[in-house]
Structure 1
Amino acid sequence: MVDGKIGVDDALAILDLVVGTNFNSKKFKVVNKLRDKDTILQNGKFTKTKLHIKNGTVYKGKDGKYYHKDTFHTGKGAELEVYNKFGKHIGTANPKTGKIDFSKVKKGREINVK
């Protein structure tokens, strides 16, 4: 936008964004990935382990549970996967508060914590 006026490229970019067209020749990708530093994993109550899941670090909490970012959900749906001290999945946690939702347990999902 120049001098408060919308140009052709601006208008096409708005159409692309709102309607989902591909008129704008300028390509961009919106990335809304959750970073470790944006979560409770960086509040001093978690220690990095040598474990990695889908290129993400697994952290051990002072509560003995293991946590890692869910790489599937992003934005407002972002969450942390939570495992008990034996590596058995027990649910997901809010990345900002750490509150665990035990209803989202995935039976059979485990990590090797040995």
Structure 2
Amino acid sequence: MRELREDTFSGNKDEDAHDHIDWVLSIVGLFNIPGVSKDVVMLRVFPFTLSGSAKRWVDRLAPRTINTWDLLKKAFIQRYCPPSMTAKKLEDIHNFKQEGDDSLYQA
């Protein structure tokens, strides 16, 4: 649990929401609580991995509206990786141009 609290997601533009979810899943996957589903564990643990505006966002979700990990994950991705951000990244990739003598790595 300490590791989950040390590297939190705050909602800054330079943070990757998908990477954060993968990271949390990889850590939570290391422990098993008999009689408790992964869904319940993720619903309880995930908010502890957030800070700043992301923590305020999850704390303000209407009670009992997000009752599965899948719903929380979808809401989180929609909030911190909206389609407009994805479209912008795809546009940047599409417009990539290697200049002059630049190696691919340098470009």
Q: TM-score, normalized by length of structure 2?
A: 0.22
Structure with the higher fraction of residues in helix conformation = 2
Greater per-residue strand proportion = 1
Higher RCO structure (Cα 8 Å, ≥6 apart) = 2
Larger Rg over CA atoms? 1
TM-score of the pair, normalised by structure 1: 0.21
